[in-house]
Structure 1
Amino acid sequence: MTPRILETAADWRASDVAHADDWTLTLSEKDVAELDAALAHAKAKGGDLLDVTREDFPLPSLRARLRELEEDLIDGRGFCLIRGLPVERYSDDDASLIYWGIGMHLGKPWPQNRHGHLLGDVTDQGKSGADPTSRGNEIGGVAFPYHSDGSDLVGLMCLRKAKSGGVSTVANAVAIHNELVRTHPDLAALLYEPQPYDYRGEEPAGGQPFYFVPVFTEHSGRLFVRYIRPYIESSQRHAEAPRLSPQAREAFDLVDAMCADPAFNVFMDLQLGDMQFVNNYHVLHARTAYEDWPERNRKRHLKRLWLETARLEDRPERFRNFSSHWAAKRTRSELRMDG
């Protein structure tokens, strides 16, 4: 195939998004009061957090602004921040319910792993990156490379910050794609070819331990990106997986270098209560290394949502929620850090 320039409306450089106010929804006291009322309404219904729907968490004023955020996530810059939730007022459970309720106004929950977690925890769970079955949300301390997750949108809410470091950063995959098409069309074309990804022990029962998906996919005029280089590299532990070519690694190196280029990325130090949402198909995300607190109840802790947005009416097969074998379960992470 011959790659072409795509989705120029979502093709930004760091200078285009230099003003944080442009991509930050700052909650007012009135907004927080509306969230408190929605929290009380949802709790009055009783039952499991996972059963709370958009209708169970009414946001008569905020919902229009959240709809605008959803539009911008899919057709615009592809990332946003919601700031101003006084998270210290709430228990972890209540803060999680508020976060879940806001998420339900942006999309439907998507399972994040083989356990079917619809609400996950990102915190040090004692796993090492050298463990081929570990997943990113379980690993503490180390920096994460730029990558995408397995859903339309990924959201993170900060419950507790690290002692130092752990800064979140995003890079524009649309701009990187388009720049590669202009300057290295041969490598861009290679990234449209299927690449092997390690299931990391979470493959379907009886299935092979890796799967294939291109880094770049064009579908109905849209760009869909899936890039998790550590998972591509760890596919090589399986003898039956195809070997990565030197040209493929050259292409990956170039994507990594462009993600690290300040022209293509934005850093944001998430404060307590901040909620970040990212379009996984247009924006890659990463974090810097961090030093954590020794006390368990002070450790860096984020809650995570994967969401399916109604703004996308058509997706390639690999990018559809129902195609995941993880969807057979519907649970939440039961990890407790506040006790």
Structure 2
Amino acid sequence: MSGAADSGAWTRVTDASAWTATGNGGAELITRRLGAAQIAALAEAVQATEALPPEEVTRAHFSAPELTQLMQAVQHDIVHGRGATLLSGISLQQFTEAEFTRIYVGLGQHLGTPAIQSPRGDKIGYVQHEPNPDNRGYLMDTELGPHTDFHEILSLATIQTAVSGGISGMTSSAAVFNAVLDERPDLLAVLTEGYYFPDGSDAEGGSGTTDYKVPIFSIVDRHVSLYNYVLFVFAAAQSRGEEVPPKLVEALRFLKQVCARPEFTISFEMQPGEMVFWHNFKVLHSRTGFQNSATQKRRLLRLWLNAHEHRPMAKGYLELARLMDHHHVRGKSLASYSTELLRDTYAALAG
């Protein structure tokens, strides 16, 4: 935690990653607007890749100097700075959805290699409301509170907004850590110890969980990261036939309350043509519920990226992403999102 001051056994984060929403101008804090030269470079790359499906687009196709410099700045923002960047200025009146998708994939690969996002085999995900027997949050229209997903770099790009709602939120993991340190330092021991996570091995004759605990807060080389995907904790406990430790449940409840405080979250409605990239373990993301109509339906593209430049993090943060990749290639899931699991998790966190 560079530039931080000691406070007992833990250290406050004081670098650029520990931002709050208060006084920072909302999404302006993380926005980069593309200029005319960058848009022109995108148009040239779009024309050059006209015959390619988006899945075959590479970083090299979108490597004009203007675009390389842009994405180098984005990478610095994500890895060494605030942890998130919103790119604005691309018009879907200039580019078709197919062209925009190629742009998105080409720019994203400056940051990492696209991962398969589900047993469907999709490297380009579609975040939209649709029938969803597996209870996946990105296919629902309900609110999603501040959380992390699984791969190191995440991204969304908007094609169409909802009639109402669907407001995105970004929350600094380091700022949340500072609040826990200030108000409930007694919870940090159990949060840095963590708990077992699902590893998908039950489908192959294994125990179904890791044989080591994955920290909720990772502190490695003075870097604070947060793995806030609470369903994994309760799914692992279910697989192990045990209860989540009461002190950890207490800590997760408090963590949920802190993450939900308005002063920690930048809220913004992504417009068509905008895309946002962020470090999954430095920045939590959220979304309000939304309403579609017959003619206007919220539709976003999504990338999960195995990063080119890694952040120092505890064991499990990257390993679980690799396990998920392993299972998705085989058309399987790392964990089941049963209605019972969802109900029990939400009930436990509500107290």
Q: TM-score, normalised by structure 1?
A: 0.84
Structure-2 residue corresponding to 1:100: 105
SS in 2 for 1:14: coil
C-alpha change, 1:160 and 1:241, in structure 2 (3 Å) is farther
Q: Which runs of 5+ in 1 are unaligned?
A: 332-339
1:157 CA drift (Å): 0.3
In 1: Cα distance, 2:128 partner to 2:254 partner: 30
1:270 CA drift (Å): 0.6
SS in 2 for 1:244: coil
1:327 CA drift (Å): 4.1
Structure-1 residue corresponding to 2:150: 150
Q: Which runs of 5+ in 2 are unaligned?
A: 1-7, 331-351
Structure-1 residue corresponding to 2:74: 69
1:94 CA drift (Å): 1.9
Structure-2 residue corresponding to 1:336: none
Question: Among 19, 25, 31, which residue is 1:24 paired with?
Answer: 31
SS in 2 for 1:255: helix
In 1: Cα distance, 2:323 partner to 2:69 partner: 31
C-alpha change, 1:182 and 1:136, in structure 2 (3 Å) is same
Structure-2 residue corresponding to 1:39: 46
Note the alpha carbon deviations across 1:92-112, whole angstroms, 9 max, x for none. 322211110110122222332
SS in 2 for 1:218: strand
Structure-2 residue corresponding to 1:334: none
C-alpha change, 1:76 and 1:113, in structure 2 (3 Å) is same
Answer whether contact 1:196 1:241 (CA < 8 A) is retained: no
C-alpha change, 1:241 and 1:81, in structure 2 (3 Å) is farther
C-alpha change, 1:324 and 1:117, in structure 2 (3 Å) is farther
Answer whether contact 1:116 1:327 (CA < 8 A) is retained: no
Note the alpha carbon deviations across 1:43-79, whole angstroms, 9 max, x for none. 35x4x43332211222321321221121111121111
C-alpha change, 1:61 and 1:20, in structure 2 (3 Å) is same
Structure-2 residue corresponding to 1:11: 18
SS in 2 for 1:312: coil
C-alpha change, 1:36 and 1:243, in structure 2 (3 Å) is same
SS in 2 for 1:12: coil
Number of residue pairs the alignment of both structures matches: 321
Aligned residues with identical type, % of pairs:
26
Answer whether contact 1:155 1:304 (CA < 8 A) is retained: yes
Task: Trace 1:289-308 onto structure 2 (pairs within 5 A).
Answer: 289-295=289-295, 298-308=296-306
Structure-1 residue corresponding to 2:334: none
Answer whether contact 2:85 2:277 (CA < 8 A) is retained: yes
C-alpha change, 1:106 and 1:16, in structure 2 (3 Å) is farther
Structure-1 residue corresponding to 2:62: 57
Answer whether contact 1:27 1:83 (CA < 8 A) is retained: yes
Answer whether contact 2:173 2:224 (CA < 8 A) is retained: no
Structure-1 residue corresponding to 2:171: 171
Q: Does 1:232 align with 2:239?
A: no
Q: Does 1:90 align with 2:95?
A: yes
